[in-house]
Structure 1
Amino acid sequence: MSITRDREILGGEPRIDGTRVGVRHVATRAIEGGLSPAHVADQLDISLSEVYEALSYYYAHIDEMRELERDNEDAFERARESSLKPKETVQ
């Protein structure tokens, strides 16, 4: 078991090898969501040791993870701004 990257999966973000579960997916649930590691493992259908490995990677590479989060937020904002918007009603 290890953390890996592949440009074809999750856009190259760090993930648990053999899965499509990203390190940030695990961290979001455990850190921001306040879920126990055991609950995260159950939710994502991964082992408890994989949860801890992902969290360890997250904290060991915190600057990289924060940059990925900013990049993701920026991409979301660009997509939102360029999406079609409903026409305003004229009165």
Structure 2
Amino acid sequence: MSQVTKRIVQELHDEPHLEGRRITVRFLKEQIEERGLDPRTVADRHDLDVADVYRALTYYHDHPEEMRTIERRRRSAIEAHAHLATDPDDVRD
């Protein structure tokens, strides 16, 4: 087993995450590639080893079909439960 997959596990909602943490591979990818944060910054903010951040990114890109499936499931769940969300403009003090 490679070092990359040794630290990435799927115990939490069937989504790959860092072993012993609730931080998902998808979350770390979003922070770096979509929000433009530096991997060191993300590691520091979440008390992670920067190598684990890079492991998560590697896992994401080494498993594109798995990650697309996870994102589709996530979008479907959000859409299925959208009726339960409250619009902040509808909330009054």
Tell me the TM-score normalized by structure 1. 0.81
Task: Determine which structure has the larger strand proportion and give its number.
Answer: 2
Q: Which runs of 5+ in 1 are unaligned?
A: 87-91
Where does residue 45 of structure 1 map in the other structure?
A: 47
| Partner deviation per Cα, 1:37-82 (whole Å, 9 max, x = no partner) | 101111222110000000000000012112111110110011003x
Selected match of 1:25 from 18, 27, 36: 27
Partners of 1:73 and 1:84 in 2: how far apart?
Answer: 14
| Partner deviation per Cα, 1:11-62 (whole Å, 9 max, x = no partner) | 0210111111110110010111111110111122211000000000000001
Q: Which runs of 5+ in 2 are unaligned?
A: 1-5, 88-93
Q: Counterpart of 1:5 in structure 2: which amino acid?
A: Q
Q: Match of 1:20, SS?
A: coil
Partners of 1:76 and 1:21 in 2: how far apart?
Answer: 19
Deviation at 1:5, TM superposition (A): 1.1
**Max Rg structure:** 1
How does 1:1-91 map onto structure 2 within 5 Å? 2-6=7-11, 9=12, 11-81=13-83, 83=84
Q: Percent of pairs identical after alignment? A: 35
* Structure 1 runs (4+) greater than 6 angstroms displaced: none
Q: Match of 2:20, SS?
A: coil
How many positions carry a matched residue from both structures?
A: 82
Structure 1 vs Structure 2 CA RMSD: 1.8
Q: Match of 1:14, SS?
A: strand
